[in-house]
Chain A
């Protein structure tokens, strides 16, 4: 059963089609990810579902209730964590939770606040002021604020952007914990490993469009039995020549090296070294790995997620 139905959403900013005919459904209890590079339209899509930004066309419903034109009715059903951590300075963690509770006309009990703090493991910071928290702690507080009204759906907009790897992993645990409490979660990210690790299903977005929606595993399997070979070279290699020499399905130049996809690992590696010998260049840092969501994105758009 779908808790969210998104149909043909469109949002234009002048000539720019920020969101271009986006449709998908989110099932009850799943963690649904929207993956894409910056500017793909992830946040705009999310904001139209949350009731923050009115779509130019299309419809959104949450639990069968239309969000537009009056988003008031769905506000109580959702919990939102925005991209910017919107917190008041000079209030303690506990006070923030109590205040946000009052925004929903709720008087949060001690136990309820304790439960929220446990969910995001901020119990030991409950008396700290917001400006004394680290970035990761602020982000976790921000997520707990999205839970004060016991919402059906929780929206997390790039929850781990700007966090160090350790804080990011900690936040993943928090997301899993919330999911285990039976909440439906919709999150956006531009980290493919985040989508892969957390999400039941992922919508891949680029340039305002949804390219594909599926589980991370099926998305990757959809690429075929391809593997990824990455390497560096001391000389500039001609991509077209390299492709014919290695028999790769596609090849691209990444930050400081080359990435090629192939279903014939042995043939491609032999071909690669043959080409290197002929052109008098040295191949370094060669690695062979299975495909991931990054490759799915690359396959569909011809560019990397972080370009």
Chain B
């Protein structure tokens, strides 16, 4: 075991000191992601909030105008709920707020009920600190016993799994309504915000791209980094040199693979971190599931890399083979652009590309919040790839 860790430490050192490898491992995918993100991603402006005012009272208008003044969202006034929802689904809006018909009356009732409760408790009447929405309704408390408080309702439609922007839109709505609430005299909520989730069909390109880039780097670092290293070690006689020591090959290769996994995880973390900082890309699903996807995907391509290394006489051959295998996957594996709409005749080819399954699993967890169960088919395909190529490389392995 100690030999294994000694080797792993040595491998780690060698990787960190190899500036060229570091560039391809870390800098290149970052540049690629950033360039694609900036060129095709489009700058993200303020969250776009659609407001449908069905009440059409002075009060309801003042509520929706409040958002315009708040300046945290860009406000779009839309006349019908259906139109607003359609625009939300199409991704043109980040959230839709619907002020129901009768909002002003409901709010008035709520305030009256609230005041009555206060009066009966000998509470002093509340003066709003500034003229707000609440001052627009009568504050005359009706006599009689206290009625249960029914808050006025506002509906909010947004996609909880989607972008940062929709979360901001939701927060903004809650905030502004909270301000109305406070102006009306604190206490129990007078306005109930009822959230409804709507699955947005469109995702930003960058949301699509980041999981794809991570999947691609898992493939490339194995196919070019690992396969090249093994072939290089064989060409230079390092494998033979190892063979005359008591060190088992399994320990040696085990340390190589662990090193590969370690850097794959580091790289995925870095890419996600940068994507988050630059493009507001968020991981919706579980990080643990994502880690599992990274490991399973990495292992699949590690075994493919070993098969390539076993098959190749020298570095030129292994690089050529890696190119032949990885190129179709780069373009047909759904990494840089979706391939679900590709012509039917090419779909069978797409279905045999391991990168497609890795990309789908990665994307499922990252942008759809898929559970382990949802992506299990993708993972099993990758496990099958691992097993098949493990035996191929075992059969074809050569020391020299």
Question: Chain A interface (Cβ within 8 Å of chain B)?
Answer: 50-52, 72, 75-76, 78, 80, 82-91, 95, 98-100, 102-105, 129, 149
Contact = CB atoms under 8 A, between A and B. Distances in A.
Given A82-B237, A83-B237, A86-B237, A103 B14 contact: no
B237 A103 contact: no
Given A95-B10, A105-B3, A90 B241 contact: no
B240 A82 contact: yes
Given A72-B246, A102-B3, A104-B246, A80 B10 contact: no
Nearest to A155: B244
Interface in B243-295: 243-247
If over half of B's interface residues share one DSSP class (helix, strand or loop), that class is named, otherwise mixed; here it is: helix
B242 A103 contact: yes
B18 A89 contact: yes
21 contacts: A72-B246, A75-B244, A78-B244, A82-B241, A82-B244, A85-B237, A86-B236, A86-B240, A86-B241, A88-B238, A90-B18, A91-B10, A95-B13, A99-B6, A99-B10, A100-B245, A102-B2, A102-B6, A102-B247, A105-B246, A129-B17
B246 A76 contact: yes
Given A99-B6, A103-B3, A105-B3, A87 B246 contact: no
Contact of B246 (A84, A99, A103): A103
Given A82-B244, A84-B237, A91-B13, 8 more contacts: A50-B244, A51-B244, A80-B241, A85-B236, A86-B241, A89-B18, A99-B6, A102-B3
Nearest to B247: A103
A90 B243 CA distance: 21
Interface residues of B, number: 20
Contacts of A89: 14, 18
B7 A75 contact: no
Interface in B10-37: 10, 13-14, 17-18
A52 B243 contact: yes
B225 to A, nearest CB: 14
Interface in B120-134: none
Contacts of A85: 236-237
Nearest to B244: A80
Contacts of A75: 244-246
A150 to B, nearest CB: 13
B236 A102 contact: no
Contacts of A102: 2-3, 6-7, 247
Most buried by B among A75, A76, A102, A105: A102
A91 B242 contact: no
B385 to A, nearest CB: 30
A53 B262 CA distance: 35
Contact of B13 (A52, A86, A90): A90
Contacts of A95: 10, 13
B14 A90 contact: yes
Contacts of A99: 6-7, 10
A89 B236 CA distance: 11
Contact of A52 (B240, B246, B247): B240
B228 to A, nearest CB: 13
B268 to A, nearest CB: 24
